[in-house]
Amino acid sequence: MARKKRIALACCLCIAAAGAFGNDGLVVNYGGGIEPLETAEISIEREDLDISYDGEKRLWRVEVSFLLRNPGSENVRADIAFINHGVIDRRYSGDIVGFRTWINDRETGYRYEKKEGQAAEDDPSPVSYTEFFVSPVTFQPGLTRVSHAYATFGSIGWGPGRFGMGYTLLTARKWAGPIRQFNLTVSVPPNSVFLGDFLGEYPGFEPYGDWKLDGEEKYGNLYIRSGGIQFTARNWMPERDLWFELYDWDWYRSYYAVFDRENWGKPEYNMPRVSFLDLQTKELTPQDLEKYDARDLRILRNGIYALHGYDFADWGLKAYFGRFLWYKANPDFSEDELTGLERANVALIAEEERKKQQ
């Protein structure tokens, strides 16, 4: 005789950060993983989670597949609910986009519901809501595969270059036993920066592709020129949910001035600074450069070449730009890579440099 249960797949996005609803935090949606509403005898044999970013549409895309084991001798019939918790914000929609579900590799329909919550009077966060995508499934003795694919805008913070993504993993604790095999791949946009000790917070997580770490033994900012994060484990029970904040290439270049940490706080630098982003996107003026001496101007001028990977023969310049996460020597560098604006800035800086040398 088949037994019927309701099982919630709280597979919503955990797009969170510390102080999530504060002025300097990320607007939040959260969820993820699969969660039974009743005591589960069914276990997760395997979970394959693939998260990637669609830069053209500015959407995070998620594909997740669960291989679930029913150890009994009877079918277990259940309604499986994929749940997305989100917030209503005028800047974007946290709704799931293009949701699809498969059971044993056959696409299955679902019933959709959306319920709005209400923020407390003393809570400045936007009104919350919950989306439900409900499908019936029969767990036969042995293995059943349940898969989902969907997209979401993700979350936003105090700047256009800051955004986040995540996935709830702790729901795995509500199933019978650990996840026998867990595989995660997160593909991030080119030139992304994880600020803080991301790798230290998630033991076993490893970057892949073309990357560089600011610090030793996995402590410090992680810059990924291309690639992402991957993780695999056997008999694994999550200790925390997955979430991360990313900063894009424009933000990173604008945040770090050419003359960085050692000069912060010095009186002569407490005026508008020239950032690496300025070197590539702003038509500089003599007024932008007047505070710099000839040595500084030489570094500024070469900063434009460093951004293109110029392989400096001068050991001083090589060491200076080598401190920045993004710098990577390119033996195939060509002057043709410089834009007209960059050439104009090189010429202006060189002229001001000559004046200071007189």
Please write the tens of the pLDDT for every residue from 227-249: 999 999 999 999 888 887 787 77
Q: Find, among 14, 10, 15, the residue nearest to 25 by Cα.
A: 15
For range 301-308, the mean pLDDT: 93
Residues 205 and 352 in one domain: no
Residues 228 and 261 in one domain: no
Please write the tens of the pLDDT for every residue from 7-28: 555 444 333 332 233 223 444 5
Residues 190 and 328 in one domain: no
User: At 49, is the pLDDT very low, low, confident or very high (cuts 50, 70, 90)?
Assistant: very high
Residues 291 and 176 in one domain: no
Long-range contact set of residues 257-266: C-beta below 8 Å, sequence gap at least 24: 258/299, 258/300, 258/303, 259/296, 259/299, 260/323, 260/324
Note the pLDDT of residue 281. 87
Residue 278 or 49, more confident: 49
Q: Going by C-beta distance under 8 Å and a sequence separation of 6 or more, which residues neighbour residue 327?
A: 306, 309, 321
Cβ burial, residue 164 (10 Å; 0-12/13-18/19+)? buried
- Cβ pair 354, 347 in contact under 8 A: no
For range 98-120, the mean pLDDT: 84
Residue 138 or 1, more confident: 138
Note the pLDDT of residue 269. 47
For range 266-272, the mean pLDDT: 49
Which of 225, 248, 271 is the endpoint of a domain?
Answer: 248
Q: How many domains does the chain have?
A: 2
Residues 98 and 202 in one domain: yes
Give the C-alpha separation, 154 to 104, whole Å.
28
Note the pLDDT of residue 126. 55
Q: What is the DSSP string of 40-98?
A: ---EEEEEEEEEEEETTTTEEEEEEEEEEEE-SSS-EEEEEEEEEEEE-BTTB----EE
Residues 149 and 280 in one domain: no
CATH no. for residue 124?
Answer: 2.60.40.3680
Please write the tens of the pLDDT for every residue from 306-333: 999 999 999 999 988 887 878 889 999 9
Residues 318 and 237 in one domain: no
Amino acid at residue number 52: S
For range 216-234, the mean pLDDT: 83
Helix (H) or strand (E) holding 243: strand 242-247
Residues 233 and 314 in one domain: no
Give the C-alpha separation, 249 to 281, whole Å.
13
Residues 55 and 176 in one domain: yes
pTM of the model: 0.77
Which of 179, 214, 248 is the endpoint of a domain?
Answer: 248
Give the C-alpha separation, 332 to 12, whole Å.
44
Residues 267 and 150 in one domain: no
Please write the tens of the pLDDT for every residue from 130-187: 888 888 888 999 999 999 998 887 665 545 566 777 777 887 888 888 999 999 999 9
CATH no. for residue 293?
Answer: 1.20.58
Residues 150 and 235 in one domain: yes
Residues 221 and 294 in one domain: no
Which of 216, 248, 280 is the endpoint of a domain?
Answer: 248
Amino acid at residue number 11: C
Give the C-alpha separation, 335 to 36, whole Å.
60
Q: Which domain holds residue 333?
A: 256-357
Please write the tens of the pLDDT for every residue from 77-107: 878 778 777 766 655 566 788 999 999 999 9
